[in-house]
Amino acid sequence: MNRVTFSEPSYNYRELVKKDLKSVAKEFESILIKQVLKEAFRSVLKDKSIYQRFYHDMFLEGVSKKLAEAGGVGIAKFIVETYEKNARQPESKEELRLMVKRVLKEEGLPGWLSVIPEIESSYEVKAVSPKGAAGMWQLMPETAKELGLKVDKDVDERFDPLKSTRAAVRHLKNLYGKYKNWILVLIAYNWGEGNLDRLGAGKVLQDLNLLPEETRTYVDKLLKVIKLSAGK
C-alpha cells in the first residue's frame, strides 16, 4: 500500500484553553504576596536608605515567587479551577473540529486525524453506541478509564469534548509509538490492540481482508475522507 502524506491546513485556532494559565496565576499570586509582605514590613523600612529598600524589595520578590511556586496561599489554584469550571465548552461542529486540530498540533500529530470523530460520531458529543462506546471519539468505558477519564454512575468524562479529545489523542499517540504505521493505528483504534496483536500487524498489512468487515469499512471510509480533505 502506497504511503500517503497529508498536509495540515492552516487555521486561526481559538484560544479555548490558555496553556500558560497556571504560570500567569502563579505570577499574579506572587505579586499579591509581595504586596502583603511590603505592607507588613513598611514600618521596618521607614528609616532605611534607598539602597537598603531596593535590596529588601528584591528579597521580598524572591520570597514571593518561591512561596507562589511552592503552592502559595491557594490563589493560583483558585484562579485555575474557576477558569476550568467556567470556560465555555466548544459547541458547534466547526468549533469542535478546530479544538481537536489544536490538541493534535500540541501533541505533534497530523491534523487529518480530526476525521476520526467525524467518522465515529459526526462530532456528536453525546453519542452512545449499542456496544457502550460514548462521546464523539466513541471510547469504550475501560479504554477511557485507562486513559485517565472518569467513568462512573455520577460522571462520564467521555462526554466532555476537551477531556475526551486529550485522552483520545494520547491514545492515538501511544498507538503510533507502538505500530509506527497510521493504517495500523486506525485499525487498532477501531478493532482494539489485543485483536490486532493476536492476528499480527504484519499479516494485516499484507492482507486487509483478514480484518472484520466492520473494521475494513471503517478504515476504508477514513482513508477516503482523509484524501478528500487533503484535496480541498
Write out pLDDT tens, residues 133-182. 999 999 999 999 999 999 999 999 999 999 999 999 999 999 999 999 99
User: What DSSP string runs through 147-203?
Assistant: TT--BSSS-BGGG-HHHHHHHHHHHHHHHHHHH--HHHHHHHHHH-HHHHHHH-HHH
Write out pLDDT tens, residues 3-41. 433 333 333 333 444 445 666 666 666 676 666 666 666
Active site (annotated) includes residue 27: no
Confidence of residue 2 (pLDDT cuts 50, 70, 90): very low
Tell me the backbone φ, ψ of residue 126, rounded to 5 degrees: -100, 15
Query: Rounded mean pLDDT of the chain?
Result: 79
- Cβ neighbours for 108, distance < 8 A, ≥ 6 positions apart: 173
> Which CATH number is 93-231 given?
1.10.530.10
The answer on pLDDT for 71 being more than 90 is no
Would you kindly state where each structural domain of the chain is located, as residue ranges?
21-86, 93-231
Question: Which is more confident, 52 or 232?
Answer: 52
Query: ∠ at Cα 121 (150, 159), nearest 5°?
Result: 20
Write out pLDDT tens, residues 107-147. 999 999 999 999 999 999 999 999 999 999 999 999 999 99
pTM exceeding 0.75: no
Catalytically annotated residue among 29, 118, 120, 157: 120
- Evaluated on CA atoms 116, 119, 123, 126, the torsion sign reads negative
The answer on pLDDT for 70 being more than 50 is yes
